[in-house]
Every structure is written in structure tokens, then in C-alpha cells.
A and B are shown apart, each in its own frame.
Chain A
């Protein structure tokens, strides 16, 4: 291809400027992707060189590993409840804040601050709040005459506890939805009022449809995040004591054994690097598939308001 002198200059400078990223892409992304794909077809414990085993890691994980089934169903349970609930709570809070409230900045800060509490500090705090004997939540339940719940030691309650905790940090999304709400043109509401629409009709016919781009974006990010939830399980799970063995963080009866946690334990505690790599690639495929499904469905329900 023949390029003019100017074009060659531009290409040269373009490459100079993207060179930090390019180096990072090759060293920190491309090579590791290739390596982990290779490891995923091997038996590899770091001490000895990898041994090729074909698709065995994948077939074992998908068909023979009971913990794999536990990890996937725990993760799905968490994602299916925490993501939609998080959206509902955040949108509701944003709607309340958008009702021309005085002291908006104060309320917004109050809802926002929990979301920036460092995740480990927040997990440690919730361990105390969920404490069966003296935790504030059980004291509250007791005060209204309800029985105490063994949040972190009863396998049935550990995931609900984690979901409640996740709702406490929806503040970031509230800020995003609020910004979206403030972008909705005011004349739309005036026209609706003239047509006799009540507040509820305005919310369901104008506000929510016009908020769908933000909801869609948060749904995608939320699902990806839910599949990678790790720290909360790592901290809360250590309390109930896991069944996986010494120093395990998987919670009572492995009820907090999430996908990413199981992957981490396989890689860095059991040194099954090949197996963990196969899990990582499956996670990548699941995430991709899920995003594509949501993206495909978005044509039916996301409204992009255009000028």
C-alpha cells in the first residue's frame, strides 16, 4: 500500500501514542489469554510442567463435579435476586429524589455513601449486623416479635443475607438513574398532565420507558458483576465455616461457594491451575452469552429517545 508522507507520519505518531496500551495488551491480555486457554486443556499444578489432557477439565467440571453444580446454582441464585432487586430499589429511590425534593444533595449523599464504603469494611460490618445472638438485625426482628434468624450459619439464609447487603450499596446506581431522570424533557410531563394523566401513569408511561437505557446498562453490568462476586462471600462465608476443609470460605454447607470463589480456591489453594483455567473460560463464555441475550432482548424493551 502506498501512503503519502503525511499519512506515514500520522501512522507513526498514532502508534507511538498507543504503544503503552499495545505493550500492555500483548503482555497483560493476549499472552495470558493464550496461556490460560492452553492450561485449560492440561493438568497443571505449577510444580510440574503441564500435561495435556484434552477436554477433560471441561467435561469433569460440567458433568462430574458436585461442587461445580453448587457453585453455579449459588451464583445464579444470587444474580437472579440481587440484580433485579437492586434495580427496583435504586430506581425507586431515584424517583423519590427526583420529586423536586428540598435538601436533594443531602438525601443523595446519604444513599450514596454506603456504596463507597470499602467492600471489606462493609462485609466485616455486616458480619456483625447479621450476628445471630446480638446482631442488630436480629435485635430488630426480636423487637417486632419475629424469631431470630441464623443469617450466617443457616445455609438457607446466607445468600439472602448477602443480597440484603448488596442492596445497601445501590447508591451508585441511584446517582446514575437520577441523572437519567433529570434528562427527561419537562414538556412531556406537561403534555401528559394536560391529557389528564395521574402521577402513576406519568411514571409508567413516560419516566420508566425513558429510563430504560440506564436500566439496561445497569442490568448488563450488574449481571457481569454478580457472576464475579467474590469478596463478600470470602468474608461472610468464613464465619459460618465451610465444608470444603481447613480455612475454607465457602459458608455453611458450601452455601456461599460462588463461581469466582470456587475458581480462586481451585487455582490458589488446591493448585489445580488447569481446572481453574477451564472454569475461567467457561465464565467468559457464560458472561458473553448472557450479555448477548440481554442485548438481543433490549430491542424489545429499551427506548432510546432521539432528538
Chain B
């Protein structure tokens, strides 16, 4: 009886589906129309950034607006680069981000191993402390931290690590609660038998971590590396507090400095913004899957 009703319903659905097929095409058309319209809206700012960077100055300020600059002023980039020491800013940013990524990956995975692969008394209670630090705004620790780094003598370009210490060293001390959490989640899905077997063979915990767990954790480590790199590229408040000479500036804070000095030259401003944005967009096309998976995995926007 049930079988019959279900089949009948399915049949009716099929028929009704066919009867509404004209409406179906209309609704599909509306859907694609809306999506295309919204896509254009989302793309226009970026498009405007690039075309503005390529415009001869008068074309920036005319009505109707010029969409494609004629002729494109590629030399705007060259001229902007003489005022905007992008190479130096990139070098500084990499000076911070490479050790920061290494430190974060190593120390968050090392710590997470202790919170997932070894069963010691009190482990989970301590882990709730790790998680609770996520709630703490940076503002609470910002002032004493600044004073600590200053008193140790790690602020200023003439200090060890060229004054980048405050932005690099913390990454080696745990690598951030959120990254520890991500690694731990991943490590817990690796069967415990793998570790047991290795221990039977006389493998030390350090070797299990380094030779068995880390290689398996490559996907989550890639995610963490990517987001740590983005974090240092985008970070503004940290460099603003800790870096005090232009020779130390990162890309983000250098761009702000450029705006401060040449804010009226929109062609140069947009050229500099394009240069700052381009590496990130290139990285997106290069590592698209890691991006999307990372965001879904972490539930956090970049």
C-alpha cells in the first residue's frame, strides 16, 4: 500500500516537474541573472583598483568614468615603486613570516601531540585553559607585552632580530591556541594503535611525533601555514606597536605609511594597493583547495 502511494506521488512529482518546466527555466534565469549581477558588484572594487592604477591622472577624475584607461600607464607602477619601497617591505614581511610559519607549525603540532597522543592525568583540564585563552582580547595583554619586549631590548632596528623578535618569537611558544586546537582535532583521528605499535618497537615519543604523526598531519599543517602567512601579511596592530622605523615596516603598515605621505595620488595609491593584494590573490589561485578547506575546517574567516 505504502509502496503504491509513494510511487504514485513520485510519478505526480515527475509530471508536475515537467508541467512547470517553463517556470523552471524562468527561475533558473533569474538565479543566474542575480548571481551574475552580484558577482559584478563584488568584482568592481578590485577592477577599479587595477584600472585606477593604470590611468593617466586626468582620467581618474572625469565624467563619465573611464573603465579601460587609454593608454594604460604601466609606468605608474614604476613611479609608485620609487616612492613605495615595496621590495624592502616584502623582504621585511618575509623576514617575519617565514620563521613565524615555521615556529607556528612546529610548536602548535608539538603541543597538540601532548594534548592528544599521550594520556596524562589532568590533560583535558589543562586543555580547557588553552581554549579559554581564545576569549582574551589582544588589548588586555598588549601593554605589558610591549613593555616586556622593550625591557628585554628587542624593540628597535638595532636590536637582535632587527626588532622583529616580538612578532616572531611568540610563534615558537605554542603557536596560538587555535592552531593547537586544529592540530589536536586532527591528531585525535589518527588511530592510537599506530603509536602503540611504534612504542612496542621501542620508538620514543619524540620519534613517533616526528616520523609518524607529523607526516600524516600534512593537510592540517598546510592550512595552518597558509593562515599564519596571511596573518603576518595582514597584521597591522602588531607591527604598528612594535616597529618604529620605516626600514622595518611590513607590507601592510608600509602601505598605510604610503597613504599618509601620498594619499592624494590615487593612481600611485591604487598601484601600491594592487602590488600588496596581488601576491595574496596569486596564492589563492595556487592553493585554492587549502583555502576553502581551511575556512570550512576552522570556521574562521581569513
Contacts and interface: CB of A to CB of B under 8 A. Distances in A.
Interface of A: 3, 7, 10-11, 13-18, 20-25, 27-29, 31-33, 35-36, 39, 46, 93, 96-97, 99, 101, 107-121, 124-129, 131, 133-134, 136, 139, 142-143, 168-169, 171-173, 175-176, 179, 193-194, 214, 217-218, 221, 224, 227-228, 230-231, 234-235, 238-239, 260, 263-264, 267-268, 273, 276-277, 279-281, 283-284, 287-288, 291
B61 to A, nearest CB: 5
Interface stretch (B68-76, B94-102, B137-145, B157-165): B137-145
B61 A128 contact: no
Contact of A119 (B45, B121, B234, B260): B234
30 contacts: A3-B121, A15-B120, A17-B114, A17-B205, A20-B111, A28-B145, A29-B133, A29-B136, A32-B141, A32-B145, A33-B136, A39-B143, A46-B147, A101-B35, A110-B39, A112-B291, A114-B45, A114-B46, A115-B301, A119-B234, A120-B252, A121-B255, A128-B52, A168-B45, A173-B301, A193-B13, A217-B299, A224-B137, A263-B139, A264-B237
B114 A120 contact: no
Nearest to B251: A118
Nearest to A136: B48
A118 B136 contact: no
Contacts of A142: 63
B8 to A, nearest CB: 11
A191 to B, nearest CB: 11
Contact of B276 (A93, A120, A193, A221): A120
A269 B286 CA distance: 41
Contacts of B138: 228
Given A119-B252, A172-B295, A176-B296, A17 B209 contact: yes
A108 B137 CA distance: 31
B140 A17 contact: no
Contact of B174 (A20, A111, A117, A119): A20
Interface in B179-230: 180, 205, 209, 230
Given A25-B133, A118-B233, A283 B13 contact: no
Contact of A283 (B139, B170, B237): B139
B173 A13 contact: no
B300 A33 contact: no
Interface residues of B, number: 91
Contacts of A129: 45, 48
Per DSSP, chain B at the interface is helix
Given A21-B180, A25-B133, A118-B276, 5 more contacts: A35-B147, A113-B46, A136-B45, A231-B237, A267-B142
A29 B61 contact: no
A235 B180 CA distance: 33
B120 A10 contact: yes
A28 B172 contact: no
Contacts of A133: 61
Contacts of B272: 124
A117 B275 CA distance: 11
A200 to B, nearest CB: 12
B270 A128 contact: yes
A21 B174 contact: yes
B126 interface: yes
A36 B133 contact: no
Contacts of B130: 21, 25
Contact of B39 (A107, A193, A287): A107
Contact of B236 (A99, A175, A224, A234): A234
Contacts of B143: 32, 35-36, 39, 267, 273, 276-277, 280
A99 B27 CA distance: 11
A107 B45 CA distance: 16
A14 B118 contact: yes
Contact of A120 (B140, B170, B256, B296): B256
Nearest to B44: A136
Given A36-B143, A114-B42, A194-B9, A134 B302 contact: no
B130 to A, nearest CB: 7
A51 to B, nearest CB: 16
B63 to A, nearest CB: 7
Question: Which 6 pairs across A and B sit closest by C-beta, in order of nearness?
Answer: A17-B114, A172-B301, A24-B173, A14-B120, A21-B174, A35-B144
Interface string B277-302: 10011001000100110011001111
B111 A17 contact: yes
Given A113-B281, A114-B45, A267-B142, A280 B114 contact: no
A20 B46 CA distance: 41
Contacts of A169: 301
B144 A32 contact: yes
